[in-house]
Structure 1
């Protein structure tokens, strides 16, 4: 049984009482009531009472506090594989044991939260129109009880129209909130990042306020990557315990417009399979599969010209880079390594290193013709949907976009195998899949008057655009603090 000396203290308390408190030895086991003990184990709180013995993972401990005579511990209780709800246990504490119990409680909360901030102050945005229109119900039933049990400070607002979250983020008091929590699909986080990016103090706002998603839409890629789940209640727990994590954001320039992307940019079969099937939303996620197979059978190609600023060219080097970060979080995941130009400043967005799509091609970039392009897909996260791990080498803050290009003239059987390989985890190693780490790119579609370009799942004009990465410009909450939850390479 280990022990340590308590450092808990109130500067306004009685000095004599403080001396007594400082000398309290914090034991891992606290005796409560007559026949019960609470023990701080390696990963769990071990509860032994007259009824049974059970282990409660520290990750599930939401809060602990005293009433006048009782110690109450609130936790997330597993109801089913995809649903949790708050529960609590309460035990009497003898007055003579109060100092020891207070010190033990503090140690419990330290174990339960670790690097994560307690009692996060959250601006909750609910999109009542997203997905199947169930976001408000999901929030009230699955999410809010978890936030309240964790003693989070919450302020809820409904978005009224497309672009409303942009306006809210532009006016947000960033000294009042730690988190903007989006009960929606991936569209609301896209709006929030851009609202924060529109501010005069954009870099400070994007560094200070974490943007998170609670999966209440049809596209919940952000939650899958950062929380490892599409369950609203589980995502709520992981956000309560989430660790601030720097996130690369990508500046997109198109015509005279500049905006931010946090998830993906696509031209070709993926963009068309998503955006051209909006009329099939009643099919749910199956509409994407349907759209893909239709275009696959037609062997549709998307001619374009492409220039890239490559960082890592070969798959083996990319794999080595990923595995280094998997084993050592400090080089990429640490907030101390956020680039100086993106943190601690009241200025707007960082200047564009490579200019805009309207400028001459940057020095060293060569424009190459892709006459038979089948798929152009650039990603800043790994999962693009549940079981769609298109970018298994993606990292939250490595300063790169992961770029996949596939020729449209590959055989139908090979194309179908590629589609199935995304779910099975073998996509990355397929010989015909070009996978590169790039800092920036410019793509110019041609030979088509109309088509589809998707940025974070949102349709933008079918025109040339340029993308440039800003390392660690944004902030999110993640379970690990440095990697995504998707299986890596």
Structure 2
């Protein structure tokens, strides 16, 4: 809903001048949505209001000045405070942010995007920014591992989905991992090829619109997934995949100059090559039918079952408190939660379902709907329901049927395709039966070896535009905000 404010009581009717001669009258009211108001303050005899002007492609800051006439300072101060209360709602003002910029994200250009499209929005919102340009892959892991989390409210990653992956894993390596993941809200400015995190949290893959969404962002809990592979434990926030999609992503690194189009080229190449990926899969299934999953999704969204992290607002600062859904052990600031189902080195639990798939085309698992601006693989995803969405399909079908299946992702019909197996799961193990290939975790390559995964409900904290996750839902639901080839770039 658009809510607006008029400055009628604070301005006098002014007249335009042509060659020094007053002509007509200019309006005494300037109407701005509360969402677009970044800051307001009284300086001397004028009120200065910073707003975000929004077009279809860009968001730009603009400063408005209103002269004060016969209004007391106390009344103005009260008015400004009420304005900021309405502008920010449950969001924290003047967030203290650690910013990491990856200059090489996607096709490059992240530094220019940050300097020209993003930082001006944050500056106008009076955010405190500590900026680091990363210089090598994996650097963000160490930076987040050593970060003084009490100095910041949020960590903002300007990149594709690579830096968020590194940030979550860096926080997860800390001795106080659970406290760090809950206290420090992770946010994303889309500067890469995939940009799935921004699509799900900000509702856009446009950097300046994402910046505005972060300014008004609400602290929201998010599920993370633990992967056990060899002796390593990896955190995943977005997806894990093996098969055509993983190869189309990781096997097209030489095409990064193409941007997101490289994924489509990679998929078509592998479909016509008729590649399949034999493997053994063991799964702890929670919901096995699409009708059951639809019912669950509808219930979750009707009940608005996304619990916003509580904040005690004081003098424009937010002091995070423990969410009721988190266990008491999380309050102690211990490391990551123990693995409920063991590691890849343990036996598969007896109540898991195990199948061998000789002609697997895709194995794709995640907990958020959007993997990229035009890739809604998990139509029924609820990013804080403690479940992962597991999608598989048979690779032994004709190229035309396969193309129809993959293009149905953009048209919003993927969920209902008969060739798509869609389940809600708590944990799984996958064992490749070929000698080499690609496994993708949040778009990052990991060794082509067996791994086991389980979900941790509400382990992380992120900033989302309105306290919930963006997603179109299974066919026929929540179509608002979805266009033919991806999500909208519009703001509320």
- TM-score using structure 2 length: 0.88
RMSD: 1.8
Q: Please state whether the residue corresponding to 1:31 is helix, strand or coil.
A: helix
CA distance in 2, matches of 1:176, 1:334: 19
* 1:216 paired residue among 167, 173, 191: 191
Distance 1:367-1:33 versus aligned 2 partners, 3 A rule: closer
* 1:123 paired residue among 98, 103, 117: 98
Instruction: Answer with 403-412 or 329-338: which moved more.
Output: 329-338
CA distance in 2, matches of 1:266, 1:334: 30
Judge conservation of contact 1:197–1:206 (CA < 8 Å) in 2.
Answer: yes
Aligned-pair CA distance for 1:216: 1.2
Q: Name 1:487's counterpart in structure 2.
A: 472
User: In the TM superposition, what are the counterparts of 1:328-343 in structure 2 within 5 Å?
Assistant: 328-330=303-305, 332=307, 336-340=323-327, 343=330
Judge conservation of contact 2:218–2:308 (CA < 8 Å) in 1.
Answer: no
CA distance in 2, matches of 1:454, 1:227: 23
Distance 1:296-1:337 versus aligned 2 partners, 3 A rule: farther
Q: Name 2:64's counterpart in structure 1.
A: 89
Judge conservation of contact 1:33–1:91 (CA < 8 Å) in 2.
Answer: yes
Judge conservation of contact 2:283–2:353 (CA < 8 Å) in 1.
Answer: yes
CA distance in 2, matches of 1:449, 1:332: 43
For structure 2, list consecutive stretches of 5 or more residues without a partner in the other structure. 15-24, 311-322, 475-492
Q: Name 1:468's counterpart in structure 2.
A: 454
Q: Name 2:317's counterpart in structure 1.
A: none
User: In the TM superposition, what are the counterparts of 1:332-481 in structure 2 within 5 Å?
Assistant: 332=307, 336-340=323-327, 343-446=330-433, 448-481=434-467
1:74 matches 2:59: no
Aligned-pair CA distance for 1:53: 4.6
Aligned-pair CA distance for 1:334: 6.0
Aligned-pair CA distance for 1:333: 5.1
CA distance in 1, matches of 2:338, 2:260: 38
Deviations 1:308-350 (A, max 9, x none): 1111111122122222222322465566343215732210000
CA distance in 2, matches of 1:385, 1:312: 25
- TM-score using structure 1 length: 0.88
CA distance in 2, matches of 1:237, 1:342: 35
Distance 1:59-1:195 versus aligned 2 partners, 3 A rule: same
Q: Please state whether the residue corresponding to 1:267 is helix, strand or coil.
A: strand
* Superposition misfits of 4+ residues, deviation over 4 angstroms: 27-30, 330-335
Larger RCO (alpha carbons 8 Å, 6+ apart):
2
For structure 1, list consecutive stretches of 5 or more residues without a partner in the other structure. 1-26, 37-48
Q: Please state whether the residue corresponding to 2:150 is helix, strand or coil.
A: coil
Matched residues, number: 448
Aligned-pair CA distance for 1:28: 8.8
Judge conservation of contact 1:28–1:104 (CA < 8 Å) in 2.
Answer: no
CA distance in 2, matches of 1:28, 1:278: 51
Judge conservation of contact 1:342–1:473 (CA < 8 Å) in 2.
Answer: no
Judge conservation of contact 1:66–1:72 (CA < 8 Å) in 2.
Answer: yes
Judge conservation of contact 2:390–2:424 (CA < 8 Å) in 1.
Answer: yes
Judge conservation of contact 2:103–2:111 (CA < 8 Å) in 1.
Answer: yes
User: In the TM superposition, what are the counterparts of 1:2-401 in structure 2 within 5 Å?
Assistant: 31-35=9-13, 50-51=26-27, 53-78=29-54, 80-94=55-69, 96-330=71-305, 332=307, 336-340=323-327, 343-401=330-388
Q: Please state whether the residue corresponding to 2:151 is helix, strand or coil.
A: coil
